[in-house]
Amino acid sequence: MPDNGGGEKQVDPAALAQSVIETPKAEGKNIPTVATSLLWFLAQAASAITAWGRNVKLRDRQLREFYPTENYFTAGLGTVSARNAAFNWELTGSGVLVRHYQDVLMNANQGEGWHDLIVKTSIDLYTQDNGAFWELVRMTDTPTAPVVGINHLDSGECWHTGDPLKPVVYRDTKGELHLLNWWNVKTFAEIPAPIEKLHGIQLCALTRLLRAAQILQNVTVYEEEKTGGRFMRAIHLIKGISTSEINDALAQIATQADNMGLVKYIQPMMVGNVDPKADVGHDTIELASMPDHFSKEEAVKLYITIIAMAFLSDYQDFAPLPGGNLGTSTQSEILHMKSRGKGPALFMGLMSNGVNFAVLPEGVGFKFAEQDLEADEVQADIRHTRADTRKIDLESGVLSIPAARRQALEKGDISKELFEQLEAEDEERSALDLEDRLQGGEKPDVHEEEVLREGEKQGVRQPARAGPFRGTADTEGEKADCCGSEGVCCYTEERNPEAPERSSRIP
């Protein structure tokens, strides 16, 4: 059975004892509390949601009640959570261990699976300042026992203790408190708060865009009320007709609509006036209205931009790029590629670290194997552009073939193995070309003479030279001293017509 305690422990008690940081000792008898400040009380007055850091549990409950009512954020949350769950991953290591832990991951969350685990983890991670939590179920309650199950823990039922050895208190559905050891739980925080007394608290994505979400929610509610026939945020001053006559007409038309089963649309109200000379008119005082020069289109664009920033992603992950002065298409592609190294990379890093150091034993590794077709296409375009540039440099004489080849190697456009193979083929082709020229009576230049002498020193077979017979051994069973390692003599055909045929050449 695999042993999860084969590597280093997550928490070293000796290191904790030597640290200057004073950590509380968790007992699990009471729910931990968080320190508050007068500034947080004052900030709360400006918002219906509790100020960040004051009462984490109350605020997280309010955030959970809020985000389902804001459609744009909820849609973005679904997009990001689905993306996280769809990332491909793989385990490396020995077959038995890999099969065991693959079953653990694929059957996580009490058999619901990896997708269920990651979606729930993502929702807590992005909407709860308390962060996300995993329960690590081991064969026995010891740090060296293998992990046999992983479960998502409701962030609303978990409290950070601040004690590294017993970091979390969990309350089950029966109200019983469980003090979890460090080997039984894994916590996740995307943007952790640096405040020491706020143990394990983070600035979640919803917190980072909350004010903008509240404003757009107000706009949506305003439009819903005004288009739904229940708009009451205005005062109408009417002349020429009494209030009682209007109220009677409203009651009558409401009764008729109920009898006809009309809910959204009601027939226009008509009121007859007994005095044909009456000056009928009205003025309206708006109690709530849109700001001057308000543009819903621009407001939505700005809000989607804020959503993308909060999720550390790109605008195009949530909506198509709108028209306008957004730069060139190349600039947009570069910004999009840069954003892929933020949110997705951060999530992959959190999950990889959690699985590798809290779940898997030494000798088994977890990594994401995501094939990014969009990124591959961009990289292919970049390589094509560099190849065109090298072609122009070759044709203009700025670069030689060896220099262009080395440049391609440095940029990663060709592999080291291919580079070495091409270099070897060039050397062999040059040697054969030199051999032909020497046999034709052409004298080698200074550089070629140096290469020949260096090769003779190293015992490398050199091209045959036209001239006197250079062999010294002619006895059967012996090779001439000029024969190479392949046993092919280097005698010239003119002095030794019976010499073996030269080895094949590379055209």
- Structure confidence by residue, pLDDT tens digits, 31-80: 666 544 434 443 343 358 899 988 999 999 999 999 998 888 999 999 99
Cα dihedral 370→322→203→79 (10° resolution): -40
Q: Is the CB of residue 483 less than 8 Å from the CB of residue 489? A: yes
Mean pLDDT, range 424-446, rounded to an integer: 75
pLDDT at 90: 92
Query: Looking up tokens 């090779």, which residue turns up?
Result: 479
Model confidence over 289-320: pLDDT tens digits?
A: 666 677 878 888 888 989 999 998 888 888 88
pTM across the whole model: 0.62
pLDDT of 491 above 50: no
Tell me: the pLDDT tens digits for 436-446? Answer: 777 777 766 66
Identify whether the C-beta of residue 189 lies closer than 8 Å to the C-beta of residue 200.
yes
Q: How far apart are CA 385 and CA 195, in angstroms?
A: 49
Which whole number is the average pLDDT over 452-457?
60
- 3-state SS assignment for residue 344: helix
Give the whole-number percent of the chain exceeding pLDDT 90: 34
SS3 readout for 247-275: HHHHHHHHHHHHHHCCCCCCCCCCCCCCC
Here the tokens at position 8 are 């280093």
Q: What angle do CA 212, 214, 215 make, to 5 degrees?
A: 65
Task: For the chain, give every domain's residue range.
Answer: 1-232+292-371, 234-263+279-287, 382-457
